[in-house]
């Protein structure tokens, strides 16, 4: 579960140009100064953008294949002196250093499927933050309306593959177990080659979603003070209809 290896070579087809959240992290990086740790850094989308702006960044990633793609991009962009990608699990890493800012973009914190996993990750964050440092978690705001779409196969994104000129589809199907606050998402990438033969890659990912007040309790239990709550990457107030639950916390 949550092994992104099958998507390592495909992830950037859909997400390399996704930049909606980059301004948010650049803003927090300016606020905190010091080096930045990204948990679940994937193919380096966020870490590389921050390094490109002059910040020193470490990206921690569970999948060796995703990490390799990120490292290759860092080398190509000549950013390897400012960004380092390390293999590790957000629940049990020890880097022996402290950061001014720890970020967990794009719902990655929700890959913690049990309370023990959530608290273990918060504990690791606390151990790696400088005094006064900030933790920023970007989670989705659970929306019961999505239950209507459960188990339907939906087109999430489509892009034209520069190599073949063919359209590549990212499809997904959600299955939500509200009583457990668990959502299983099956992602499919259908990529035709130049002859039209489709290669299909599959990824199963699980998310344990978190409600706003549960997040306050969780952070408190994990030794953090919740400082700010936002509902969008533009830092709009958190409201019932917000897509996002973005929280900013400091060690208590």
Q: Which chain residues interact with ligand SAM by CB under 6 A?
A: 2, 4, 15, 39-42, 45-46, 60-63, 66, 89-91, 105-106, 108, 111
Three-state SS annotation for 201-215? EEEEEEEECCCHHHH
Between 71 and 108, whose beta carbon lies closer to ligand SAM? 108
Shortest distance in whole angstroms from residue 136 CB to ligand SAM: 12
CB 135, CB 38: distance < 8 Å = no
Shortest distance in whole angstroms from residue 193 CB to ligand SAM: 25
For residue 86, what are the β-bridge partners?
Answer: 60
Between 89 and 161, whose beta carbon lies closer to ligand SAM? 89
What is the rounded distance in angstroms from the CA atom of residue 135 to the CA atom of residue 252?
12
Between 46 and 122, whose beta carbon lies closer to ligand SAM? 46
Instruction: Copy the structure tokens of residue 185.
Output: 């998402």
Q: Could you give the 3-state DSSP secondary structure of residue 125?
A: helix
Shortest distance in whole angstroms from residue 212 CB to ligand SAM: 21
Shortest distance in whole angstroms from residue 81 CB to ligand SAM: 21
Instruction: List phi, psi (to 5°) of 164.
Output: -115, -15
Between 105 and 239, whose beta carbon lies closer to ligand SAM? 105
| Residue from 212, 214, 244, 247 nearest 228 by CA | 247
Instruction: Copy the structure tokens of residue 240.
Output: 């019932």
Q: Could you give the 3-state DSSP secondary structure of residue 122?
A: helix
Between 114 and 180, whose beta carbon lies closer to ligand SAM? 114
From first CA to last CA, the distance across the chain in angstroms is 32
Between 32 and 38, whose beta carbon lies closer to ligand SAM? 38
Shortest distance in whole angstroms from residue 138 CB to ligand SAM: 8
Shortest distance in whole angstroms from residue 217 CB to ligand SAM: 22
Between 90 and 129, whose beta carbon lies closer to ligand SAM? 90
What is the rounded distance in angstroms from the CA atom of residue 158 to the CA atom of residue 220?
40
Shortest distance in whole angstroms from residue 42 CB to ligand SAM: 3
Lookup result for tokens 């930045």: 36
What is the rounded distance in angstroms from the CA atom of residue 58 to the CA atom of residue 237?
29
């Amino acid at each position: 579960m949550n092994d992104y290896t099958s998507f390592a070579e495909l992830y950037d087809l859909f997400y390399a140009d996704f930049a909606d959240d980059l301004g948010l992290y650049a803003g927090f990086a300016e606020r905190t100064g010091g080096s930045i740790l990204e948990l679940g850094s994937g193919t380096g989308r966020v870490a590389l953008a921050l390094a490109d702006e002059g910040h020193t960044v470490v990206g921690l990633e569970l999948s060796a294949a995703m990490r390799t793609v990120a490292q290759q991009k860092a080398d190509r962009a000549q950013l390897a002196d400012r960004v380092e990608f390390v293999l590790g699990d957000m629940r049990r890493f020890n880097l022996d250093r402290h950061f001014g800012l720890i970020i967990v973009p794009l719902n990655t914190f929700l890959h913690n499927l049990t309370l023990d996993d959530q608290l273990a990750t918060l504990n690791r964050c606390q151990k790696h933050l400088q005094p006064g440092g900030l933790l920023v978690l970007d989670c989705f705001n659970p929306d019961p309306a999505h239950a209507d779409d459960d188990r339907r196969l939906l087109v999430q994104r489509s892009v034209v593959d520069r190599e073949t000129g063919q359209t590549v589809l990212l499809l997904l199907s959600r299955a939500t177990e509200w009583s457990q606050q668990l959502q299983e998402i099956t992602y499919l990438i259908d990529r035709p080659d130049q002859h039209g033969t489709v290669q299909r890659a599959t990824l199963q990912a699980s998310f344990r979603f978190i409600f706003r007040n549960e997040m306050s309790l969780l952070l408190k239990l994990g030794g953090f003070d919740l400082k700010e709550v936002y509902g969008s990457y533009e830092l709009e107030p958190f409201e019932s209809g917000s897509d996002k639950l973005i929280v900013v916390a400091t060690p208590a």
